[in-house]
A and B are shown apart, each in its own frame.
Chain A
Amino acid sequence: MHPFIKHCLFAFVVVLLASCTSAPQSAKPRIALVMKSLANEFFKTMQDGATAHQQTHAAEYELIANGIKDELDVARQVEIVEQMIAQQVNAIVIAPADSKALVAVCQRAQAAGIVVINIDNKLDAAVLAERNLRIPFVGPDNRKGARLAGEALAKQLKAGDQVAILEGVPTAFNAQQRKAGFEDAMKVAGMNIVSSQSASWETAKANQIAAALLVEKPELKAILCANDSMALGTVAAIKAAGKAGQIRVIGFDNIQAVRQLLKDGQVLATVDQHGDKLAVYGIEYALEVLKTKTVPADKETAVDLVTKEVLATN
């Protein structure tokens, strides 16, 4: 055997042994956080919030945080959950990349005696019922949030005005919910939804579609965006078309980049679902369940409308 390979093998074995023996078997519950794409600002914020929470509550639990490369990497997320089962953690708090494909592995985790808490993207109710499973969901009502923003917008418009919706990735549950929430608010106020298209949550794509919409629908009065990144692209398209101030924009998520636009009035409203706390809510709920050993119910967390006025008071 080549000496270099020998050295490598030796080092590998040493590391392996060290990692086996040094794993501390403490009494503290170990909680695994399984996230979606850490490339996405929203999930990064969520995880940072969880890490910060763990540091201030270090005596109460241990945290193992994991994420996948992008939101579509479902297979990798299943693998991570399986590794967490093998690790024999006490609880798994998961933001599923797919509301159906992750159900089976969550069931395996439950069968292994692990408390599973679902955050962010709700697991499919029909699939859960079919497998006779109960996994509590802790999170915001996206439909309600979108309705709030839609209602704030409707106050600025007249009944019968033309509006358009920019949707997120059509297969994502929260994208569907936000679209539904926008539609609820627009229907109640009697607005005319003339177009509803997906811009895949992306700034550049939203920019392209909004620009085309502005040409095709000259009477358009507002564009409702299912997230703030798309609102950024839409605002840029409106400016490029020379229609600044004539067309209202609303977003969702309350990201840092949209604050200035809210202050300038270029974005009318966005919705804060307290992304930094979403994972924390899930972790706290998991700790509670571990302590009380009850069969938990779903738990709804807060969604708040953010406008220029709200920013001014904070």
Chain B
Amino acid sequence: MKQSTIAASPNRTAAWHSILLQYAGLLFALVLLVIAFSFKTNHFFSLTTLHTISNQIPDAVLLAVGMTLVMIVGGIDLSVGSVMALSGAVLGVCLVQWHWPLLPALAACLLTGGVCGLVNGLITVRWKLPSFIVTLGMLEVARGAAYLITKSQTMYIGASVERISSASLWGLSLPFACAIVAVIVAQFALTRMVWGRYAMAVGANEDAVRYAGINPRPIKVAAFTLSGLLAACAAVLQCARLSSADPNAGTGAELQAIAACVIGGTSLLGGRGSIISTFFGVLLIAVLGAGLAQIGAQEPTRRIVTGCVILAAVILDVYRARLASEK
């Protein structure tokens, strides 16, 4: 027994080193940001800040996880923000106008997101279209549908959804726990399950996968469906956080999700990506947002700084990758 653990240890330390190196660039950037903001403001480096950030990010994390899956199979999903708004609108209409109980309303919400994703996937695969265009279409359709069913009005939902954001699980808030679970499950599926390995392969070289006798279509459709489903989950969390369903929710959220993925090193061409890195990407953007708001930065500054940090993080990642490949 003892011998085997000793024998395994050098291997394990090597594995730890490679993991550390993989996330080192992002961690470094994150720590830099936190230090910078702590110097600039009085209360940034505090538990309350951590708490507010953990409150803000769950929906962004879910969107980014879905986006990573789609990007890994070589696609892109521009519709996530609109699908989130539509799913949230369905939740709002079910609860407020039809007076449904919470559970069926949640089911309807998730179904909406899932179907939107499924349609994205099926159209992309069936007619071999670039997903950029297909999901751009869905972006418009879902946004229009969200306006239609809410009559372009923000709906106040109130106590029935607030339960979700106030509940806690293992000492974490339920939304944050959901986000963590999604990250862990997706990372596991991607690295340890057949579907995940195939997904990586499809993104890297779809023809090779087909020649190997594997049908890449269901794999791609699954990625898009999951992205839609996760967008609906994000909608639930956002509605719970804001106690209301806003048909304008998630405008531009797709770009933020893509930014988080790219900061995390996901390739825009497919075949490469990691959910945990994406999580760090979301964290980076959230810390930046919280810090800039605490400083009281004005809109122009906020946009310029955000853009620069995204670029810096990506450039830093190039050096990190070079270092990793030299080893």
Is A52 on the interface with B (CB-CB < 8 A)? no
Q: Does B246 contact A (CB under 8 A)?
A: yes
Within 8 Å of chain A (Cβ to Cβ): is B241? yes
Contacts A39-B248, A232-B154; is A240 near B43 (CB within 8 Å)?
no
Do residues A216 and B243 form an inter-chain contact, with CB atoms below 8 A?
Answer: no
Q: Are B242 and A232 in contact (CB under 8 A)?
A: yes
Q: CA–CA, A195 to B42, complex, Å?
A: 14
Q: Is B242 a contact partner of A218 (Cβ separation < 8 A)?
A: no
**Given the contacts A215-B48, A215-B49, A255 and B43 also touching, CB distance less than 8 Å:** no
Instruction: Determine whether the beta carbon of A215 is less than 8 Å from that of B156.
Output: no
User: Is B136 an interface position by the 8 A CB rule?
Assistant: no
Asked if A284 is an interface residue, CB under 8 A from chain B, the answer is no
Tell me whether B246 and A195 are in contact (CB under 8 A): no
Q: Any chain A CB within 8 A of the CB of B232? A: no
B156 touches A41 (CB 8 A): no
Q: Are A213 and B293 interface neighbours, CB within 8 A?
A: yes
A40 at the interface (CB under 8 A from B): yes
Contact (Cβ within 8 A) A256 B153: yes
Instruction: Flag if B152 contacts A240 (CB, 8 Å).
Output: no
The 8 A CB mask of A192-217 against B (1 = contact, 0 = none) is 00011110101110011101111110
Give the docked Cα–Cα distance between A233 and B153 (Å).
Answer: 15
Contact residue among B49, B154, B299 (Cβ-Cβ distance under 8 Å from A255): B154
Task: Give A204 to B297 CA distance when docked, in angstroms.
Answer: 18
Give every chain B residue within 8 A of A233 (Cβ-Cβ). Answer: 242
Q: Provide the residues of chain A in CB contact with B46, threshold 8 Å.
A: 215
A240 CB contacts on chain B under 8 angstroms: 52, 55, 165, 241
B292 to chain A, nearest CB (A): 8
Determine if B248 and A202 form an interchain contact, defined as CB atoms under 8 angstroms apart: yes
Chain A residues in 8 Å Cβ range of B279: none
Contact between chains at A232 and B43 (CB < 8 Å): no
B156's contact among A200, A213, A232, by CB below 8 Å, is which? A232
The reply on A257 being an interface residue by CB < 8 A is yes
The chain A residue with its CB closest to the CB of B41 is: A216
With known contacts A195-B296, A209-B293, A255-B154, A204–B55 Cβ distance under 8 A: no
- Closest B residue to A47 by CB, please name it: B152
Residue A14, interface by CB 8 Å: no
* CB 8 Å contact bits of B154-185 with A (1 = contact, 0 = none): 11101000100100000000000000000000
CB distance from B247 to the nearest CB of A (A): 7
B248 to chain A, nearest CB (A): 7
Instruction: Give the docked Cα–Cα distance between A261 and B155 (Å).
Output: 12
Q: Say whether A75 faces chain B, with CB atoms less than 8 Å apart.
A: no
Contacts of B43 in A (CB 8 A): 215-216, 218
Report yes or no: B48 in contact with A241, Cβ–Cβ below 8 A.
yes
Nearest CB of A to B214, in Å: 38
B222 at the interface (CB under 8 A from A): no
Tell me if A's interface is mostly helix, strand, loop or mixed: helix
Give Cα A215–Cα B293 distance, bound, in whole angstroms: 10
CA distance A155 to B202 in the complex (A): 64
Contacts of A308 in B (CB 8 A): none
- A190 shortest CB reach to chain B, Å: 21
Contacts of A113 in B (CB 8 A): none
Residues on the B chain within 8 Å of A41, using CB: 152-154
Q: A204-B249, A215-B294 are in contact. Are A260 and B41 (CB under 8 A)?
A: no
Interface string of A9-47 (1 = CB under 8 A from B): 000000000000000000000000000001111001000
**Is A236 on the interface with B (CB-CB < 8 A)?**
yes
Contact with A along B33-60 (1 / 0, CB 8 A): 0000000011110101100100110000
Do the beta carbons of A214 and B52 come within 8 Å of each other? yes
Let me know if A38 and B152 touch, CB within 8 A: yes
Q: Is B251 an interface residue (CB 8 A)?
A: yes
Check: A229 CB closer than 8 A to any chain B CB.
Answer: yes
Is the Cβ of A257 less than 8 Å from the Cβ of B153?
Answer: yes
Complex alpha-carbon distance, A301 and B156, angstroms: 28
Contact B152 A213 (CB under 8 A): no
**Beta-carbon contact of B242 and A40 below 8 Å:** no
* B45 CB → nearest A CB, Å: 10
Give the distance in Å from the alpha carbon of A180 to the alpha carbon of B65 in the complex.
42
Q: How far is the CB of A238 from chain B (nearest CB, A)?
A: 11
Within 8 Å CB of B48, what residues of A? 214-215, 241
**Closest A-B pairs by Cβ, 10 of them:** A212-B293, A257-B156, A216-B294, A44-B152, A211-B52, A257-B154, A209-B293, A195-B296, A41-B153, A212-B294
Between A and B, 10 residue pairs with Cβ closer than 8 Å are A44-B152, A197-B296, A200-B299, A203-B242, A208-B56, A211-B293, A212-B52, A212-B291, A216-B42, A241-B52
